[in-house]
């Protein structure tokens, strides 16, 4: 019983640390196309593994990743979220 309780406490502490390290939202510069907001918290319900491989892995956002591997790719595939240039890039 004590072991189970300790394991639970360890798990809660661990997930707490992971969540504490994530911002609710991120903002990218997006060059002269204008800033792009990424509401991380709203995306969390999709499941961490959709974006982070394995245990939350650091993601480096750049144009290629954003358009072809992550953001736009998924919005197109699921037909949800912004897909037009100016729906993501705001001046
Ligand atoms: C739709 C994609 C997506 C989903 C789903 C997602 N994340 Fe993230 N996460 C990101 C991106 C993008 C960043 C920001 C990377 C950056 O620019 O620093 C990030 C950042 C983080 C960070 C900050 C530290 C780091 O590695 O940059 C943590 C911690 C994190 N996410 C945890 C989670 C957890 C836990 C879940 C599931 C509950 C989750 N994420 C779901 C895309 C996602
Ligand atoms: C795995 C799929 C997936 C990935 C990857 C993903 N998104 Fe989304 N995104 C969604 C879905 C699904 C929605 C719609 C949520 C809804 O309508 O409730 C959404 C909605 C949004 C919205 C609108 C939120 C709102 O308040 O209406 C923005 C902005 C957005 N995404 C930006 C991004 C950016 C920037 C990235 C990359 C860093 C990204 N997304 C990566 C699935 C994804
Ligand atoms: C789902 C959101 C999303 C959509 C839709 C989108 N982009 Fe982006 N784009 C991004 C993100 C995120 C970045 C990375 C920004 C960064 O690294 O500062 C980016 C980067 C770029 C960059 C590189 C900026 C730089 O100098 O680093 C250009 C140019 C660009 N996008 C143009 C476009 C055009 C044109 C369209 C429409 C055909 C478009 N984007 C649609 C999210 C989006």
Q: Which residues contact 70 (CB under 8 A, 6 or more apart)?
A: 51, 59, 61
Rounded to the nearest angstrom, the distance between the alpha carbon of 63 and the centre of ligand 3 is: 5
pLDDT cut 70: percent of the chain above it: 78
**Closest ligand by atom to 38 CA:** 2
Which phi and psi (to 5°) does residue 35 adopt?
-60, 145
Helix (H) or strand (E) holding 86: helix 85-88
CATH 3.90.10.10 fits 24-90, yes or no: yes
Where do the structural domains in the chain lie, given as residue ranges? Answer: 24-90
Mean pLDDT of 37-54: 93
- Whole-structure pTM value: 0.90
Mean pLDDT of 27-47: 97
In tens, the pLDDT along 59-87 reads 999 999 999 999 999 999 999 999 999 99
């Amino acid at each position: 019983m004590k072991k189970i309780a300790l394991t639970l406490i360890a798990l809660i502490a661990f997930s707490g640390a992971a969540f504490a390290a994530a911002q609710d939202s991120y903002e990218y510069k997006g060059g002269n196309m204008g800033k792009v907001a990424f509401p991380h918290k709203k995306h969390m319900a999709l499941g961490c593994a959709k974006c982070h491989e394995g245990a939350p892995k650091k993601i480096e956002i750049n144009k290629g990743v954003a358009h072809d591997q992550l953001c736009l790719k998924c919005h197109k595939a699921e037909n949800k979220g912004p897909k037009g240039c100016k729906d993501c890039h705001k001046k």
